[in-house]
DNA sequence: TGGATGATCGCA
DNA sequence: GCGATCATCCAG
């Protein structure tokens, strides 16, 4: 019963991502990231995100003066997946934010698996536990995210849903 | 703590 | 065309 139900959940529309990156990153916390591959549904609650504004963030790939093939997706329309391979062995799942023309993306650093645990564990080489998706590269591998998902629009095999009850954010 | 590993960026 | 960098993960 702990399984995630995409039918009852509300999928986040592109308008949700067409907002300030920092805000989207914060709002994404608690949301459910769902991935469907070969009819197998895997999903996890986003527990940690990192906002990458782009031009102002030196760590972002968009820190360069112009738009490169890699940052291209960042500058594109929101509500799309930006998959990036780093260290030659790990994929990073980013969600493009801001409206088209503005660079922005949110890196999903960690999620808590709620559905398709077996599939995730299987992809992780039989590993289990919180370490399944306790890291950027881990969650991408667990969800089966690869470079083929780069630039893929959300709503298909990859989508983000709002939790049944989003906790009231305490203003700090 | 350090190594592995693939792709990308900037410059000549 | 070459060298350097990268938002990490795993093993001992």
> Which secondary structure element, helix H or strand E, spans residue A140, and what is its range?
helix A136-143
Confidence of residue A2 (pLDDT cuts 50, 70, 90): low
Query: Which 41-60 residues of chain A approach strand C with CB closer than 7 Å?
Result: 52, 59-60
DSSP string, A54-116: STT-TTSGGGSSS--TTTHHHHS-SSBEEEEEETTTEEEEEEE-SSTTS--EEEEEEEEEEE-
What pLDDT is attached to residue A164? 60
On whether the CB atoms of residues A94 and A79 are closer than 8 A, the answer is no
The predicted structure's pLDDT at residue A152 = 94
Q: How much is the pTM?
A: 0.90
The CB density around residue A9, as the number of other CB atoms within 10 Å, is 18
Coil, helix or strand for A119? helix
Which nucleotide, over all strands, has the C1' atom closest to the CA of A62? B9
Our measurement of CA A143 to C1' B1, in angstroms, reads: 29
Q: Is the CB of A85 under 7 A from strand B?
A: yes
Considering all nucleic acid strands, name the nucleotide whose C1' atom is nearest to the C-alpha of residue A125: C10
A89 touches strand C (CB under 7 A): yes
| pLDDT higher at A15 or A88 | A15
Which uninterrupted H or E stretch holds A153?
Answer: none
Q: Which of A58-67, A127-136, A141-150 has the lowest mean pLDDT?
A: A58-67
Q: What is the pLDDT of residues A9-62, one digit of tens each?
A: 999 999 999 999 999 999 999 999 999 999 999 999 999 999 987 655 545 554
Q: With a cut of 70, say whether residue A129 has pLDDT above it.
A: yes
Q: Is the pLDDT of residue A136 over 80?
A: yes
Interval A131-137 mean pLDDT:
95
Name which of A84, A14, A26 is nearest A51 in CA terms: A26
Give the CA angle between residues A65, A149, A14 to the nearest 5°.
75
- Check pLDDT > 80 for residue A66: no
Q: pLDDT tens digits, residue range A104-124?
A: 899 999 999 999 999 999 999
Question: CA(A64)–C1'(B9) in Å?
Answer: 9
- Phi first, then psi, for residue A56 (nearest 5°) are -90, -10
Which bases of strand B sit closer than 7 A to a protein CB?
Answer: 4-10
**Between the CA of A37 and the C1' of B1, what is the distance in angstroms?**
37
> Which positions on chain C have an atom < 7 Å from some protein CB?
6-10
């Amino acid at each position: 019963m702990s399984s995630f139900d995409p039918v009852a959940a509300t999928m986040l529309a592109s308008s949700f991502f067409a907002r300030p990156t920092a805000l989207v990153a914060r709002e994404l916390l608690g949301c459910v990231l769902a991935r469907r591959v070969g009819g197998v549904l895997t999903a996890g609650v986003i527990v940690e995100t990192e906002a990458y504004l782009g031009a102002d963030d030196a760590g972002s790939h968009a820190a360069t003066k112009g738009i490169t093939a890699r940052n291209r997706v960042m500058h594109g329309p929101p509500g799309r997946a930006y998959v990036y391979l780093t260290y030659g062995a790990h994929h990073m799942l980013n969600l493009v934010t801001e409206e088209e023309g503005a660079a922005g993306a949110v890196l999903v650093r960690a999620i808590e698996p709620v559905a398709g645990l077996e599939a995730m564990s299987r992809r992780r080489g039989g590993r289990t536990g919180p370490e399944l998706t306790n890291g950027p590269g881990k969650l991408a591998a667990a969800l089966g995210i690869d470079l083929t998902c780069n630039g893929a629009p959300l709503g298909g095999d990859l989508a983000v849903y709002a939790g049944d009850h989003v906790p009231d954010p305490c203003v700090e």
